[in-house]
């Protein structure tokens, strides 16, 4: 039976037996509104750990737009049922005051990899807020391993930087992006798309593939491939906030490819909804 904790003390008491027997503890941090992408991470965690903790917390510290925070979809009862069915053994659902109590005044700042792309579009406080809540969750849960989705690739790079810089004893693993049949990356925000915008949104992944294959055809010329991908988006009436080829660890632009890994990244508004996605380049 899946247990639910709402306070840190309760969470730690529930995890104490597992810790005493040296069981492997995995954490899957989420903001709820669970979809198949989240569930695939929970299933992967359950396949390789003795105890799987799923956190459900809409983190106010990482939202630069108050309206976006208010509109973020929430259905905790549904999320608990889905997480339990996917293999979660303990679900942590704290209130904001439990995570950020009265008088809270600590911050975590990430430079470098957090400075570009999402760091520009959503402001420097976004990834600082991500780093803060992840640091807190690691301290609350004490996991051996934590799972994140590849769709949020820059966030994963930020968390890896955080873990390396602070010598946190947590292994970071990623699960592949889970997509709809037409290629749209699954996201909690997709439910806010109108029917027409949902159809248009599929072009984001087509643009990523267009750039990826264009780089290979045009002898690794990123700029030409990006221009062609941008034109494809415009045919659907979508203007990208950014469409770029980057290093997957530093997120620095990669004008030309070599034998190192690369990543095509995109962010765009489709109607009122802001979507992100990425695609590795072989």
Residue 127 token pair: 């990834």
Q: Which residues, including other chains, have CB under 8 Å from residue 60's CB and lie 6 or more apart?
A: 69, 96, 100, 129
- From CA 277, how far away is CA 263, in angstroms rounded? 10
Residues of the chain by 3-state class (helix, strand, coil), percent to 5: 45, 20, 35
126 is catalytic: no
187 marked ligand binding residue: yes
Radius of gyration over every alpha carbon of the chain, rounded to an integer in angstroms: 19
**Count of CB atoms within 10 A of residue 48's CB?**
12
Q: Which residues, including other chains, have CB under 8 Å from residue 133's CB and lie 6 or more apart?
A: 29, 57, 59, 61, 62, 99
Place of tokens 């010598």: 167
Query: Which one from 38, 77, 109, 213 is the annotated catalytic residue?
Result: 38
171 marked ligand binding residue: no
Strand pairing category for 171-175 and 145-149: parallel
20 marked ligand binding residue: no
CA 281 from chain centre, in angstroms, equals: 19
Q: Which residues of 101-111 are buried (b: 16+ CB within 10 A; e: fewer)?
A: eeeeeeebebe
152 marked ligand binding residue: yes
151 marked ligand binding residue: yes
40 marked ligand binding residue: no
155 marked ligand binding residue: yes
44 marked ligand binding residue: no
201 marked ligand binding residue: no
189 marked ligand binding residue: yes
38 marked ligand binding residue: yes
118 marked ligand binding residue: no
What angle do the packed helices 153-165 and 124-141 form, to 10 degrees?
60
209 marked ligand binding residue: no
Binding site feature residues: 31-38, 62, 149-152, 155, 178, 186-189
The residues annotated with a catalytic role in the active site are 38
Binding site feature residues for ATP: 31-38, 149-152, 178, 186-189
Binding site feature residues for beta-alanine: 62
Binding site feature residues for (R)-pantoate: 62, 155
């Amino acid at each position: 039976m899946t247990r639910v904790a709402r306070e840190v003390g309760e969470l730690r008491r529930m995890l104490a037996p597992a810790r005493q027997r040296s069981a492997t503890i995995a954490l899957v941090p989420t903001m709820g509104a669970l979809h198949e992408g989240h569930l695939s991470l929970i299933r992967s965690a359950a396949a390789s750990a003795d105890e799987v903790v799923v956190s459900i917390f809409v983190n106010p510290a990482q939202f630069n737009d108050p309206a976006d925070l208010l509109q973020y979809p929430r259905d905790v009862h549904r999320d608990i049922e889905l997480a339990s069915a996917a293999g979660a053994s303990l679900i942590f659902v704290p209130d904001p005051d439990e995570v950020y109590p009265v008088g809270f005044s600590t911050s975590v700042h990430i430079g470098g990899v957090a400075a570009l792309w999402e760091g520009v579009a959503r402001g420097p406080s976004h990834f600082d807020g991500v780093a803060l809540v992840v640091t807190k969750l690691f301290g609350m849960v004490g996991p051996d391993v934590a799972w994140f989705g590849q769709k949020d690739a820059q966030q994963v790079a930020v968390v890896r930087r955080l873990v390396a810089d602070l010598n946190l004893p947590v292994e970071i693993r990623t699960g592949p992006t889970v997509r709809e049949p037409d290629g749209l990356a699954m996201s909690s925000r997709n439910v806010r798309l109108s029917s027409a915008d949902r159809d248009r949104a599929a072009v984001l992944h087509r643009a990523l593939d267009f750039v990826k294959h264009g780089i290979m055809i045009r002898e690794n010329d990123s700029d030409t491939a990006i221009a062609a991908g941008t034109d494809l988006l415009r045919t659907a009436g979508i203007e990208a906030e950014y469409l770029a080829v980057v290093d997957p660890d530093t997120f620095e632009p990669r004008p030309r490819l070599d034998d190192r890994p690369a990543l095509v990244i995109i962010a765009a508004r489709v109607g009122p909804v802001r979507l992100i996605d990425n695609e590795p380049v072989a």
